[in-house]
Structure 1
């Protein structure tokens, strides 16, 4: 892949200059700490808000650590993925539209290097973000509710990060294939609407985030888990391959 080291430097430099290595992990960290803190201090929050009837009280369920981590992952799945989608859906399409890609295409670089450089840098941001989100959630959950088993916790994190790699591959594939608006719509449908397919088939990639929590609960049917993992890796590779092909096919759309 010609030009990959140079393109990696370019992408890392742009990510640092736009503070994406800071503010996106910060969003995930806030999402990770929100559920443990909110649930633990819910009654204090309600009383602080005021205007409650005299003697008002509610019985909150007894949470275990896995419940809070599952809630945090649910936040990552909604707000966190929307942040990633909004931040990177124009990674290729915008460069194609504003003419920046012209400066790259005329140089001695390969389309695969161009795509992979973006995939690696965004994956690095996704990794830092996932670490920040999990660390915040696990820290406050451990302090307020109880401990996790390290082995299953790491397995849960790795499982979720592999899911993030698929999300990033789909975002870049859509960006390489369509203009930014259509790419955003297509990526949203694939990433979010596709989660409803898990109602019919448990082995699909969209099951991975919940499968990680099931590992912690020791309730995971491992055959479904490994099938879901295999499908996720295959879908990621296919998305990368399609993205590279479509990037090459759409060179005529580059603004000069």
Structure 2
């Protein structure tokens, strides 16, 4: 257990020295503020971009508009930021052969993989929930009377989807010795999820539902019973990715 804690601390220290921690926290804090502010000032923003004489009637913004922006920013921007910044979690280790001395001195390869995953998970967790809390505070301020159904489930679903992407990224990072391999694997995996949606019977098992059906959850259209299979699939993907990463890294040259 001590080697695991020590290596995880080492990973967090490297994230700090490479400014990834600060990049994550700042960007996700900005996304958290932008979500409700975009909903509040959307009318003024559109007026500035529309040609003179053209008017668009827009209903007054509500708390649902704020959460719509949150999930839009989370899936399009937040997850993209995470994938890009975590894509090189093993590349430097392979490039500089920094793990050879550690492994030859007794550090378990399993510890390396699990610590990499844990450090990335910690950073994703803190950044994501910081973003959520900021959005929640601003939304409560601007829309104090607004009500949402199953907000916790909707937010948790997107969080789980992010964990799944981290596990897939780790698998790519262990398999390939560069930054591009994890990106291509994660991109290909996401593309497959979109293709699966073509088949209606498979859609309810598709973990993509955790990232693109959040507003339907907030609006009360979907409930936990509608997402349980998607959550189960995501958990299976995480487990398979971690086990595969452990096996591949155990056989891979450093």
Q: Determine the structure 1 residue equivalent to 2:233.
A: 231
Aligned length: 250
- Counterparts of residues 51-200 of structure 1 (less than 5 Å): 52-54=51-53, 56-146=54-144, 152-180=150-178, 181-191=180-190, 194-200=193-199
| Residue deviations 1:143-193 (CA, integer Å, cap 9, x gap) | 333456688333333222222111111111100011322222111221356
| Residue deviations 1:10-66 (CA, integer Å, cap 9, x gap) | 11211222232222122122223324322321333355x488525x43112444423
- Any unmatched runs of 5+ in structure 1? none
Task: Write the distance in 2 (CA, Å) between the matches of 1:9 and 1:111.
Answer: 16
- Any unmatched runs of 5+ in structure 2? none
Contact 2:71 2:214 in 1 (8 A): no
Task: Write the distance in 2 (CA, Å) between the matches of 1:194 and 1:165.
Answer: 15
Contact 1:156 1:216 in 2 (8 A): yes
TM-score (structure 2 length as normaliser): 0.86
Task: Write the distance in 1 (CA, Å) between the matches of 2:19 and 2:135.
Answer: 23
In structure 2, the CA distance between the partners of 1:213 and 1:50, relative to structure 1 (3 Å rule), is closer
In structure 2, the CA distance between the partners of 1:236 and 1:140, relative to structure 1 (3 Å rule), is same
Contact 1:91 1:175 in 2 (8 A): yes
After superposing the two structures, state which structure 1 stretch, 164-173 or 67-76, moved more: 67-76
- Equivalent position SS for 1:218: coil
- Equivalent position SS for 1:205: coil
Q: Determine the structure 2 residue equivalent to 1:241.
A: 243
Deviation at 1:138, TM superposition (A): 2.2
TM-score (structure 1 length as normaliser): 0.85
After superposing the two structures, state which structure 1 stretch, 86-95 or 189-198, moved more: 189-198
**Higher RCO, Cα 8 Å, sep 6+:** 1
Contact 1:21 1:128 in 2 (8 A): no
